[in-house]
Structure 1
Amino acid sequence: MNILLWHVHGSWTTSFVQGPHRYLLPVLPDRGPDGIGRARTWEWPDRVVEVPAERLRDQDVDVVVLQRPHEYELVRDWLGRTPGVDVPSVFLEHNAPDGDVPLTPHPMRDRPNLPIVHVTHFNSLMWDCGSAPTTVVEHGIVDPGARWTGDIGRCAVVVNEPIRRGRHTGTDLLPDIADALPLDVFGMRVEKLAEHLGLALDRCRTYEDHPQDRMHDALARRAVYLHPMRWTSLGLSLLEAMHLGMPVVAVASTEAARAIPPGAGTVTASTAELREAVRHYAADRAAARAAGAAARDAALARYGLARFLSDWDAVLKEAVS
């Protein structure tokens, strides 16, 4: 099957392109957001093919996976076909709704020929998709292996743009956590986070532009993983930390409670309990090791790559039938 999609979410796409299909990614000369092409920091198979935008009309496209509303018009302009009408298509929604939740209308609502695929059951519950057909394909992760050592007594956090996104990503919760255990924050645009939070640099170190495998090694050396998100979809970095065998501590919001079963870590809406859980796992290696092992087992069972690819194959086959 020839699948057209844009490189929007690198971690998600890394899992998606592990399937048996041919994946066509538009590329533009400036490699901007609508034409990034292949990843530079993830390893993708050769069946992921860059196609210049002006040559898309020459391609045999079996199905389109849309991920942003404006891609609907890009398909019409670049491919010369209308999604869901002239070419089988689905819309993949990565995000939780924003705005007037739970009344937020999905931008692709009420389109019977354009199924909407959500990545979490929480997102599916909260978006108003009207009469559009919907389904859920939960995340799948390329297993990085059990790597946790916890030999660095700090708390790992992965978050992109924590200053701009603020309360959505729980950035304001970090100083309280840093009182229990110093933070190592990985992600994009994190370099001024300590200054923004008024934290000394030894209490909040930041790391940018870590290639995926190096970041996994770095995370696995930290004592505990913190997922402070108040209102996002389910961060793939949380699932990766669970695959690594890390004890995880998470804000009880959106999909976190479903992703982290009892025994695999701590999920709570209490800031005091978040702080105490981080301190507990850092101090008690046996408890941390047991929680990390349970987290890994849970992640492999629910967010394994084989199940993810099988679910997506079913969605795509239905779309082209």
Structure 2
Amino acid sequence: MRILLWHVHGSWATAFVQGQHDYLVPVLPDRGADGLGRARSWDWPASVSEVTPQQLRDAEVDVVVLQRPHEVGLAAEWTGRRPGRDVPAVYVEHNTPRGDVPATRHPLADQGEIPIVHVTHFNRLFWDCGTAPTHVIEHGVVDPGHRYSGEWPRAAVVVNEPVRRGRVVGTDLLPELARTVPLDVFGMKVHELGEALDVPHQRLWTFEDLPQDRLHAEMARRRVYLHLTRWTSLGLSLIEAMHLGMPVVALATTEAVVAVPPGAGVVTTRLEEVAAALWRFVHDPAEAEAVGARAREAALARYGLARFLADWDALLGAAAARAA
């Protein structure tokens, strides 16, 4: 199949484009949000082609994978075909609702032309999609390999724009936890932490915009992975850390409560237990390594790439068949 999708979430897209299809990714001269083109920090296969809006007008497209509400109109404008009517389409919901969460209606609620595909059961539970057809295809991750060495007695945190996103990603918890163990924070715009938080430099280091392979290598050198997100679907960096063989400590929020099974890490809502688990893993390398090995086994079993691609092949094939 020839699949049209926008480059929106790099980690998810990296797994998605590993399938046996041709992928058309829009590109604009400024490579802005609606035309990022191929990834530069991730390794994408040659089956991913950049296409301009002008080229899309005549391009053969078997199915459109939508990820943001405005892409419905954008796809119609650029291809001349309305998703769900003139060309099969599905909508991937990566995010949790915002605002009045219990009453939040999904932008595609109550329509029957475009199935909504949630990336976690947590998402499906919290979005009100009305009568729209819904599915769940859980995340898959390209296995980076068991790289864990844990040679540095520090905790790794991966989060983009921690100052702007604040409490949503647990930025407010970093100063207290940095007093327990030293923290290394990776991601976009993490340099702003130094100005926003009163934390001694040696207790909190920041590393910005590393390519994915380098990021994984650096994460795996740290003794433990810390996941402080209060509200999201499921941070893929948590699953990647588990694939690397890292023990994880996470807040018992979002889909993390089922992503990290017993024995693969510590998941809790009590900050004193978060701090105690970090201290224990940092000061007990043998336990950290053993728990990390179990975390990798759990991640491979639930978030393996083969299962992810098979689930997507089945759903996209059904969507194409309905339109035939």
* Corresponding residue of 1:292: 292
* Corresponding residue of 1:231: 231
1:102 is paired with a residue whose SS is: helix
Identity over the aligned pairs, expressed in percent? 64
After TM superposition, give the deviation of residue 194 of structure 1 in Å: 2.7
Worse-superposed segment, 145-154 or 259-268: 145-154
Query: 2: distance between equivalents of 1:152 and 1:288?
Result: 12
Q: Could you give the per-residue CA deviations for residues 144-173 of structure 1, whole angstroms, max 9, x where no partner exists?
A: 010111111111000001111111101111
Any unmatched runs of 5+ in structure 2?
A: none
* Corresponding residue of 2:93: 93
Q: Could you give the per-residue CA deviations for residues 177-227 of structure 1, whole angstroms, max 9, x where no partner exists?
A: 101101100000110203311111111111111011111010000010000
Query: 2: distance between equivalents of 1:19 and 1:260?
Result: 26
After TM superposition, give the deviation of residue 22 of structure 1 in Å: 0.3
* Corresponding residue of 1:257: 257
2:314 is paired with a residue whose SS is: helix
The amino acid across from 1:245 in the alignment is G
Q: Could you give the per-residue CA deviations for residues 78-102 of structure 1, whole angstroms, max 9, x where no partner exists?
A: 0111111111000000011111112
* Corresponding residue of 1:167: 167
How do residues 10-159 of structure 1 correspond to structure 2 at under 5 angstroms?
Answer: 10-159=10-159
What is the aligned length? 321
1:65 is paired with a residue whose SS is: strand
After TM superposition, give the deviation of residue 297 of structure 1 in Å: 0.2
* Shift >2 Å, 4+ stretches: none
After TM superposition, give the deviation of residue 57 of structure 1 in Å: 1.2
The amino acid across from 1:105 in the alignment is R
How do residues 172-251 of structure 1 correspond to structure 2 at under 5 angstroms?
Answer: 172-251=172-251
The amino acid across from 2:71 in the alignment is E
TM normalised by structure 2 equals: 0.98
The amino acid across from 2:105 in the alignment is P
* Corresponding residue of 1:273: 273
1:3 is paired with a residue whose SS is: strand
Query: 2: distance between equivalents of 1:108 and 1:198?
Result: 43
2:96 is paired with a residue whose SS is: coil
* Corresponding residue of 2:5: 5
The amino acid across from 2:132 in the alignment is A
The amino acid across from 1:77 in the alignment is E
1:180 is paired with a residue whose SS is: coil
The amino acid across from 2:231 in the alignment is W
2:7 is paired with a residue whose SS is: coil
Query: 1: distance between equivalents of 2:294 and 2:40?
Result: 33
Query: 2: distance between equivalents of 1:162 and 1:231?
Result: 13
TM normalised by structure 1 equals: 0.99
